[in-house]
Structure 1
């Protein structure tokens, strides 16, 4: 072949390749987030270092995938994050379950909603005095959280453990101490702030503890004498990323939720909670 013709053909082929590649790029541009360059203030609890480590992974995913910067605002008790959300001091928060927000919204006439699920953590009954529930003495004191939703959940845990009976088996209903119909062991139920349930173990026989507080207090698994069972009614205990209802379709907040519901986050959860105390819940089948 004539060298000139050969070079011309090669040049034409190269040009066609360039045009095709350029066309593909135009029709299928690199994914860019509507949130790129934005900063989102996320309210989380200060006591759980493992949860903070998980969120560090989420922040990296949010930055790398969506160009989002997550700024964390830390709180010390369950009342503060929702108040901050409603006042606009933060954009979203991530600390509560569906049953908790249902109670909160009713009590505060608020409109906090979920923009994406995060995890679920079964409650545990802990003890420093006994190795199994059968060893609990008559008249023993049991610490439970004092906020309505967690107290209700704790009472259902005690019922599932066979320690008390309530006037219902429907855990979607909110119950309190007057709803106890049987207390065969004459247990004395002591209401304390949820964050203090681990510390209460020094003075009570049993304590029903939220996993985040158990983790923050480094309670050993060996001191857990009962774990809340997971079933269909457990859906109400799934935690989520929360926003106000007017922001429920906010694309930026949805991308925070997508950053959480990632393989990287799942890996981080498994690394931080090797005992399975916290489980990814965005695709959980109960």
Structure 2
């Protein structure tokens, strides 16, 4: 018996990187995982195939976030996929992982950049939760992926940092509101992880070493490092934890 047997999970941005790691781990623990992706169908299908090779269950869900009707489209396809598979309707675990980062300091950020960051990183998670709650039974789990930039100054991505600060404020507010239903809401804050999102920072051995030096373990994080924490928060073992910001940065800049 896996810790998440009988549970259905939705992981946004699960085609690559941290999202893929989370989807793999939740499936490994027994959950049926909806692998959401925005545009890279091949990568999402690869995630589903990897889960299948391990004996897990998953299916892809396509929906671009940050555009009108995004949440309605996502949940419409989610509900339809469950019905077509003969699965019970509902959502037990929601992981808001999808996000974008645009390098721009206070002198370079534009209204267009900021609006896009807010639409994907803050607005979409808010309404994914809002519309997901009608599908979520009491005792459900919501995990929001934030970032270490809410603790460590990150002026080169000021708009991105603002959206992640908003995610943590949302986490705290909803933990209080949803507590009576036994639904826990927590945030996980990765540091620098060896994913495509950070590839532009690893342009040389020296640049990579500088990123590694942030962590007390002197290495970049791996997707599995974050996924294991999310899996704990998605399980019953975390039932007494809510409204928390869990640092998943390897002790960056302690």
Is the structural similarity TM-score above 0.5? no
Higher relative contact order (CA 8 A, sep 6+): 1
The two structures have a TM-score, normalised by structure 2, of 0.31
- Greater Rg, structure 1 or structure 2? 1
The two structures have a TM-score, normalised by structure 1, of 0.28
